[in-house]
Amino acid sequence: MFNNLNLTDLLNTTSNILPFSSLLPPSSSKNHNGAWSLFPGTTTTGPLLPILLLALAILYLALYALQCLKSHPNEPPILPSKIPYIGHLLSMTLQGGRYLKNLGLSHPDKPIFTLPVPNSRIYIVTDPVLALAVQRASKSLSFTPLVPDLTKRILGLDTKTVNIVRQNLDPEPGEQKGFLAEMHDMVYAALGPGMELNELSLRAVRELAEEVDSFVDASFRNSEEGKEEEVKVNLLHWVRHFVTISTAKFLYGPENPLTSSSPAEGEKLDLEAAFWDFDNGLGQLLIGIVPSLTARKPYYGREKLAAAMGDWLDSGKYLGEGVSDIVKRRVEIALRHGWDLREVSRSELSFLFAGIVNTATTSFWVVLRIFAERGLLNAVRGELEGVLTQEEGKRRGVLSLDKVKNGQACPTLMAVFKESLRVGSDNYSTRLVKSDTVLAGKYFLKKGSIIQIAGGVLHADIKIWGDDAAAFNPGRFLPGTDEKKKNGNGVHPAAFRAFGGGKTLCPGRHFATNEILAFVAILVLRFDLEPVEGDAGTGTGGMIRVPEKDDGVLPVHILEPRGDVFVRVCPRDGTYGGIEVVP
């Protein structure tokens, strides 16, 4: 085959197929000495250019053919790229998650396929049965070996700390756990169903309710009748602010690094902005080429946050009463594994990130979807008013967290939440192939390759979700739908990817569900959101327009909208001077 041919063989072979002249520009001609002239009046001594062009053409053909070679007959089908080896990577960089999603959707006959990349392959899984097989093969297909390098780039860990992270990544039962394995187990236990989860959820929602109270006080306190006042906000930023501040408080206490690291108010807001700069530039940090120059905004955002978190740790405030147990244990585990206290700030940045970004963006979509459709708004409000109580003589409504998250009491709210996650999440579950593996008894996966489960493809697959897979239809998650394919509750368990799956299944999913549903409930009960002038959706009867999601970025979390959504926030007429959340 091609690897046994040398360049001369190739030149000889292809000269029969491609006449030299076909590689030259039409204006070229031979002069009277027989030398090639590219431009009238100039000469090129010898046939250098055509040979160069031919060599390039042959090289191209050879590389194209090479990338199509399977490393094993049972390797998943190869999708070659027009620019051999680097074409897929280039397109991923330029088009973000959209590229692989479109590639997957345009090959519905391939449940798994291979993308050739320099010195390796990327296998893309687009089928739930194979996704489950990937999750089950956790011994040979593991995310953890990728973590040290990823965290070094994204969090800026120093070499000593990365070496600690590298230890005992995937311990066998009974073996000593490395830092990552111990942290993983602790976080999964703390956020799993039980008392600690219930208490943390309640704390989080109460913190959110307080932030909403502060907003109402600050925005509407001068009005005689609150209902006549309104405030224009950028919906994503508005929701984000509540989630960012309250998460910093319930995880890191009232004296947390985000809201109290500087006495100056301006500096506080600055750190919140730094957080979102860091988030929005994660893809650039991941590329990791001199990030202080090529990824200035996220780099300096991260460094500012790490410095504030470092000062907070240095001051010993992490041992204070208002700090959550989970954070205290995280710091303790890192120190026990030999991390320097200031480096721990970077690990905590990753936890703050996990706690904020998906929750904030999901809350935004759920609120937007509810306020974009009158029928949904009425249904969700009806359910919530059905579970809201009010103590006699008191203006504050009382909301039970148990009832809000109960799919029986508030089925439409739950359905909008799940459907927003399905439509908004294009995430990938990524694993390294640690040893040659046969997946599902059929597909050969080569050691050292990367395998990714493509959530965006699975979430848009009409074989799974029915013909309306591209549409937002919370009805598919309502109980009692007979058509299995349309009923989100009846699909293959590995087809819903918003929280990932297998060993890396999001440990915060129960907590996030509690938090988001209750937060959205508070907003729906307390406010009306209306489109700003000229920004209503078409055919929505004056409701808010829903923009497309921005899928041209690396899908590291639930995707943001393409463009801003501004709304008028109007306190609702009626009863609630605020909402008290009870278990």
Query: Which residues contribute to the site for ligand HEM (CB under 6 A)?
Result: 184, 187, 354-355, 358-359, 362, 427, 429, 498-501, 504, 506-508, 511-512, 558
Please state the closest distance from residue 69 (CB atom) to ligand HEM, in A. 30
3-state DSSP percent of the chain in helix, strand and coil, to 5: 55, 10, 35
Which is nearer to ligand HEM, 204 or 384 (by Cβ)? 204
> What is the per-residue DSSP string for 134-186?
HHH-TTTEESGGGHHHHHHHHH---HHHHHHHTTTSSPPTTSPP-HHHHHHHH
Sheet of strand 112-117: strand arrangement:
112-117, 120-125, 450-454, 428-433, 141-142
Contacts of residue 210, Cβ cutoff 8 Å, sequence gap at least 6 = 246
Query: In angstroms, what is the minimal distance from the CB of 373 to ligand HEM?
Result: 21
**In which order are the strands placed within the sheet that holds 231-234?**
231-234, 566-571, 527-531
User: By C-beta, is 362 or 412 nearer to ligand HEM?
Assistant: 362
Judged by CB, which is closer to ligand HEM: 306, or 352?
A: 352
Residue (of 188, 176, 173) closest to 139 by Cα position = 173
CB of 508 to ligand HEM, least distance (A): 2
For the bound state, the minimum distance from the C-beta of residue 330 to ligand HEM, rounded and expressed in Å, comes to 10
Shortest approach of ligand HEM to residue 244 CB, angstroms? 12
Nearest CA-CA partner of 501 in 245, 137, 198, 61:
137
Smallest gap, in angstroms, from Cβ of residue 94 to ligand HEM? 24
192 closest CA partner among 326, 328, 362, 352? 326
Q: Which amino acid is at 330?
A: R
Query: What are the residues facing 233 on neighbouring strands?
Result: 567
Residue closer to ligand HEM by CB (options 169, 285) is: 169
Q: Determine if residue 458 is left, alpha or beta; phi over 0 gives left, psi from -120 to 50 gives alpha, anything else beta.
A: alpha
Q: Which residue in this structure is represented by tokens 């391939």?
A: 110
Query: For the purposes of burial, counting CB atoms within 10 Å of the CB of 262, is it exposed (0-12), middle (13-18) or buried (19 or more)?
Result: middle
State the minimum distance, in angstroms, from the CB of residue 417 to ligand HEM: 9
At its nearest, how many Å lie between ligand HEM and the CB of residue 499? 5
Which of these, 547, 513, 528, lies nearest to 413 by C-alpha position?
513
Least distance between ligand HEM and beta carbon 45 (Å): 60
Which residues define the annotated binding site for heme? 506
Specify the residue, 302 or 431, whose C-beta has the smaller distance to ligand HEM.
Answer: 431
Tokens of 301: 């955002």
Annotated binding-site residues read 506
For residue 541, give both structure tokens: 């009867």
**C-beta closer to ligand HEM: residue 50 or 96:** 96
3 state DSSP class of 581: strand
Nearer to ligand HEM, 54 or 512 (CB): 512
Q: What residues have CB less than 8 Å from 426, skipping those under 6 apart?
A: 97, 101, 455, 456, 459, 549, 551, 555, 559
Q: Is 435 exposed, middle or buried (0-12, 13-18, 19+ CB in 10 A)?
A: exposed
- Closer Cβ to ligand HEM, 356 or 377, answer by number: 356
Q: Which is nearer to ligand HEM, 383 or 515 (CB)?
A: 515
